[in-house]
Amino acid sequence: MTLETVMGQIARSRVVAILRLQNSQEAHELGKAIIAGGLPVVEVSLNTPGAVGAIERLAKDTEGTIGAGTVLEVSDVARVAKAGAHFMVTPNLNPDVVKAGLDAGLMVGPGVFTATECHQAITLGAHALKLFPAAQAGISGFKALRDPFPDAVWLPTGGVSENTISDWLNAGALAVGIGSALTSGDADHAMRTARRIADIVEGLGSPGREEVR
């Protein structure tokens, strides 16, 4: 899957479903349900036991765009790339991890919270900025960070709920990361919630071409 395709999938879905679960099997089952429910972009957090195996299975078993989250070490990058991940995101900004992800051909979204981190991530060549934790920054903080970096692609994550998706997307985010709202129940719950969220997103329309870089 090309970088352009990955970015296009994220732009169309406008939601990255985050799986941070008890085991690989649970991540696989809920990931499949979420994709079937209409949210095709799924991130498996590496602090899920067996996360790399879940990434590999989802990449093989579904037509979703599958990524790795909580990528903290350079060694993690090679493992998730080999497993078939299409993108990676981090909670922090580690230049070595960002560079490793770019060298591996992955879409890279490092975690940022300050203007200094935003500038450094952009300079490193990151494809998206994962504002984290988004709820602490708030919409006003997000808008303040957008002003000096008008060309950045944003992925607010952390505390984004089903009720606030529209606020973040209307404020200029390309997509948002959502976890517990989707994964707090079984596979049926995950599918139903994914369908509701997909309906919310559909009502907002797609971002303009200039938002996707």
Q: Catalytic residue numbers?
A: 43, 130
The dihedrals phi and psi of 109, each to the nearest 5 degrees, come to -130, 90
Laid out side by side, the sheet with 176-178 consists of 107-109, 87-89, 65-69, 41-45, 15-19, 176-178
Q: How far apart are CA 210 and CA 21, in angstroms?
A: 35
User: How buried is residue 1: exposed, middle or buried, by Cβ count under 10 Å (0-12/13-18/19+)?
Assistant: middle
How many angstroms separate the CA atoms of 31 and 124, rounded? 31
Q: Give kind and range of the element (H or E) at residue 69.
A: strand 65-69
Helix axes 95-103 and 74-83, enclosed angle (nearest 10): 30
The radius of gyration of the chain's CA atoms, rounded to the nearest angstrom, is 15
Q: Residue-wise over 158-169: b if at least 16 C-beta within 10 A, else e? A: bbbeeebbebbb
Partners of 41 in beta bridges: 65
**Residue for token digits 């067996």?**
50
